[in-house]
Amino acid sequence: MSATFDGVASVRPTIGLALSARTRGRLLTLVLIGALVFNLGLCFANTNVLRVNDTMVMLAELLLIATALGVVAVAPGLWLPLVMLLFLSYMALILSLRPALDLKPIRDFLIPIVFYAAGRRSPDIALTDRVAWLCGLIVLGFGLFEYFFLDVYTKYFNVIQYYIARGTVVPTGNTSTTSTLFASGTRPDARNILPFLGPHRVSSVFLEPVSAGNFGAILYMWALFRAGMRRRWQTMAFGIAAIILSDSRFGAYACGAATGLHLFARGFPRFLWFALPFAVLLALAYHGFTSEAVRWDDNLVGRLWWTAHLVTSLDGAAVFGISPNKPFLSDSGYAYTLNDIGIVGFLAVWALFIFLPERNRDAWSFKMQTATYICLLLLVSDSPYSIKTAALLWFMVGSADGAAPGPDGRIARAAAGRSAASRFRLSAGSAPVRRRAA
């Protein structure tokens, strides 16, 4: 028996194998929904049952990652063990050069590796369509509950106390008298999107509005990419609604960029997307070293200035990921990434993402959108590493890359209605398809 890059064996399926594929699909669905809502469950527990701490949050995340990894590990193939070995060896090296042990960088980058592999080896791309729609329904439903029944929501979900309990927020003297929502849950001024909705920014199951907006952009990108999916327009509407309810400026910008890429960016060379984040880093460094600004406003220009300031505040050790210091860098994903795994690790992980071959010609379009989304989001936040949204995003990328091609090399139309077992009828001799650079 031989295996392809994706671990698809050239054997006829049996009933047991078909059931196994369905079971894997169900487990992956539960894991992805769990990544979406586990913080909501812990917040409810902290408010009404018992005090939560950061260890519980970490264990919940590890359980989700381990379950996804366990589902993926049953499929044959060598590329995932090889990537895991190289990544863990590199992390062991840079962590050994730090005076204090910090395992969070390992967790941050296990999420894309594991969930990408889970998506690539999922039964079929229609599973991803269904998960995207279901997640959108959950987020919108709970978001509307929060918006219309805010008093009930805050009674059972004291968000700020949950983040204090897990160590993310430092309590202040008037914490108990302020809103129970997250700090960004209310606009101090008028909303940016549909001001008549009021200052409340809906967080839904994410507990904070930034992730809700990011999730909306992810759903929009998937629906834009998946022209043949069932409930395509409903899924896109769920994404747009999440952006509106959370008043997410970034979500709106990301949707605009994704639409432009979908319409016009067909022939851009692959190397351009590989170079993009490092070109942004160079621009930020130049601006940070040459700018004389001493304050910033909460707008696009101000956020860009602040991330440039944070990038240039890093010393040489931090650039290579071996600094003993852990400054607050969550407002700049680029600075956070360098301090997390270093420039060498970032180069390697990004190169793997860009140059890993797709099995069909369509997947490159979604990969371009995802690369742009990540490069933009790293300008203002470290939230690309949040499992709340990253699990679904990387599962989508893997699912798009691994979808079976039809005779023309594009995602097979029949894939939308294919049973889980039929994925295993594919020949082991099919080679990955690369999109030719312009």
Q: Which residues contact residue 393 at a Cβ distance below 8 angstroms, ignoring those fewer than 6 apart?
A: 218, 370, 373
Residue 341: C-alpha distances to residues 280, 336, 337 (Å): 18, 9, 6
**pLDDT at residue number 438:** 35
CA–CA distance, 42 with 31 (Å, rounded to integer): 16
CA–CA distance, 325 with 307 (Å, rounded to integer): 18
Beta pairing partners, 405 = 411
**pLDDT at residue number 248:** 93
> Do the Cβ atoms of 395 and 32 come closer than 8 Å?
yes
**pLDDT at residue number 77:** 67
> Do the Cβ atoms of 375 and 92 come closer than 8 Å?
no
In sign, the C-alpha dihedral spanning 307, 309, 310, 316 is positive
- Please state the domain extents for the chain: 25-425
Q: Which of 137, 261, 210 shows the shortest CA–CA distance to 389?
A: 210
Residue 101: Cβ within 10 Å count? 7
Which residue has 């499929």 as its token pair? 75
DSSP class of 200: B
**pLDDT at residue number 432:** 42
**pTM as predicted:** 0.88
247 φψ region: left (φ > 0), alpha (ψ -120 to 50), beta (else):
left
Which residue type sits at 54? D
CA–CA distance, 210 with 160 (Å, rounded to integer): 15
Q: Which residues contact residue 33 at a Cβ distance below 8 angstroms, ignoring those fewer than 6 apart?
A: 131, 134, 135, 138
Which residue has 């998960």 as its token pair? 131
pLDDT values of the chain reduced to their tens digit, one per residue, 438 residues: 334 445 443 333 333 343 367 888 889 999 999 999 999 999 999 999 989 998 999 999 999 999 999 888 766 667 888 899 999 999 999 999 888 888 888 999 999 999 999 999 886 899 999 999 999 999 999 999 999 999 999 999 999 999 999 888 877 654 444 578 888 888 888 888 999 999 999 999 999 999 999 999 999 999 999 988 999 999 999 999 999 999 999 999 999 999 999 988 777 889 999 999 999 999 999 888 887 766 666 677 778 888 888 899 899 999 999 988 888 888 888 999 999 999 999 999 999 999 999 999 999 999 999 999 999 999 988 889 999 999 999 999 999 999 888 888 888 764 444 433 333 333 233 334 444 333
**pLDDT at residue number 200:** 93
Residue 217: Cβ within 10 Å count? 29
CA–CA distance, 397 with 122 (Å, rounded to integer): 11
Residues present in the chain in total: 438
CA–CA distance, 231 with 239 (Å, rounded to integer): 13
CA–CA distance, 148 with 192 (Å, rounded to integer): 20
H-type helices in 157-208, by residue range? Answer: 159-165
Q: Which of 125, 113, 124 shows the shortest CA–CA distance to 356?
A: 113
**pLDDT at residue number 414:** 45
Which residue type sits at 402? G
Tell me the two tokens of residue 95: 């962590």
List the helix and strand counts (H, then E) for the chain.
16, 0
Residue 151: C-alpha distances to residues 146, 148, 328, 431 (Å): 8, 9, 33, 56
DSSP class of 5: T
**pLDDT at residue number 239:** 97
Virtual torsion, Cα 44, 48, 52, 56, nearest 10 deg = -50
